[in-house]
Structure formats: structure tokens, C-alpha cells
Structure 1
């Protein structure tokens, strides 16, 4: 039996029930009609991070970055490209470590960019330093 997943809409925060088999069908939010998993990285911070990713059924890849960081800016297009390739299979999140010091401290971010892979809210892996889109995709798919 296919148990429904509960996905929080990145646009309006509504919870949506969705059969796991439909994850690859580009589902839309029942409340606002926006895509639930369109592949674009979602910007989250101290206030909304846990609600959005805490029990997310897909792997979550978090990019801790800052606007002044050259390698972070250089990796941003690769992160977006990886997000499009992983649409429906992973949630990609960006966290500005300067604007969200509580999250940066909680995850022990010492250098940026740092990618953190989460499964059901638990860290399973991390990588520091800029990497290309293909490597980001492999990192997101790797079992923790």
C-alpha cells in the first residue's frame, strides 16, 4: 500500500498529502496551486527551516552560503542546475549563514559554501567547498 507523504508548500506553507508514487509528476499545492517540487532551491532561515525540512520525505540538500563569498556565488548556478535535475527526488535549500546565525551555529558551519545532506531532518553527510552540478547531484543521491 502506498502511504501518503506530507509535503509543506514552499510558497504558502500549506501541508499537502501526496501518494509517494506521484512525487515524479510535478505535483501542485492544493491551496495555492504552485508547484510543490519544482526543482528551484528554496530559501529558508532560522524561523522557517525546521517546519519546512524537519520531516520532509525526500533527501534535503542545504547550501550554507553568504552573499560576499566568491565561491558561494560561483556555485549558485550549479546548485540551481542540480535542483532542476533533482526535481521530485530531493529538496534543495539555501541558507544565508550571515542572516541566519542560529542555523549556522546549530550545524557547526565553519566555512562556506558548505552542503549538508539531511534525511528526515537528520544530517547524513556534508561537503565544504564549491563543486559542479554533477557532483551536487551525486552528493544529494548518496545514501547517508
Structure 2
């Protein structure tokens, strides 16, 4: 029997069912018809976060950042590079703490950049500070 995974669309945030063995083949959203995987981190806010955090079966890696933060801007290309390498096994997302202070408070973000990994709606790991791409990938492989 085929196991179906629930995958949130990075564009319209609709939940899609995708057979687990077809995860690497990608697929398109049933609602907006756009690709479910692009290798680009999805920007989340309070209204879209729960679809990816609680309703999707993919582990979620969130970069909590702010536009004025130099280390955040320095790490952004590394985060995108790792997203290209590791998606679709993981969903990569960014939350702008300046635009979404309620989310920063909800998750207890005290410094930025902070990376948090969620599985099944629960936080499983957290790391503060900028990382290069290889360190970030090693850290993610070690926590998952």
C-alpha cells in the first residue's frame, strides 16, 4: 500500500496529498497548479505558517531573520543553497521577525538569525547564529 504525504504548497499554502515514492519527482499543487518544490525557501507569516507547521508531513526548517540584520543577510544565500540541495526531504521557510513580531514572540526568538527545525508540528532542534552552507547541511543531517 502506498503511503501518502500531506504537503503544503509553497505558493497558495493548500494541502496536497502526494505518494511518498513520488516525493522526489515533485508534483503540482491541486489548487494553484504551481510546482510543490522549487528549492527556494517559502516566506511565511502568521496566516500561512500553520499549514506548513501543523498540516504538512514534511519536516520544516525556519530561518527567523530581519532585513536590518547583517548576519541574517550574510547567511541567506547559504540557506537558499542548502534548500536547493535538501528539498523535497525538508521544507525550508523564512519568517521576517520585523514584519511578524507575534511569531517571534510565539516561538521565543531572542536573537537572529535563529534556525528552528520542526517535525510533526513540534520543535526538534534550534540553532542561533549565522552558518555557512556546509555547516548548516551537517547540522540538519545530524538533527534529522
TM-score range, shorter chain: over 0.9
Aligned to 2:28: 28
Q: Which residue of 1 aligns with 2:55?
A: 55
> TM (normalized to structure 1)?
0.93
Residue equivalent to 1:93 = 93
Output one character per residue of 1:42-64: Cα deviation in whole Å (capped at 9) or x when no partner.
Answer: 00012221122213212111000
Q: Distance in 2 between matches of 1:70 and 1:41?
A: 19
Distance (whole Å) between structure 2 residues aligned to residue 65 and residue 117 of structure 1: 15
Q: Match of 2:71?
A: 71
Q: What does 1:1-144 correspond to in 2, within 5 Å?
A: 1-143=1-143
Give the Cα separation in 1 of the matches to 2:39 and 2:110: 27
After TM superposition, give the deviation of residue 9 of structure 1 in Å: 1.2
Name stretches of at least 5 consecutive residues in structure 2 with no aligned partner.
none
* Superposition CA RMSD, Å: 1.4
Aligned equivalents of 1:93 and 1:40: distance in 2?
A: 8
Count, aligned residues: 144
Q: Is the 8 A contact 2:39 2:84 kept in 1?
A: yes
- Partners of 1:82 and 1:13 in 2: CA distance: 22
Structure with bigger helix share is 2
Q: 1:93 to 1:128 in 2, by over 3 A?
A: same
**CA-CA distance at 1:75 after TM superposition:** 0.2
2-side partners of 1:4 and 1:37: how far apart? 16
Query: Are 1:72 and 1:112, in contact at CA under 8 Å, matched by a contact in 2?
Result: yes
Output the CA distance in 1 between the equivalents of 2:59 and 2:121.
9
- Please list the CA deviations of residues 62-112 of structure 1 after superposition, one character each: whole Å capped at 9, or x if unmatched: 000000000000000000001000121100010001111111111110100
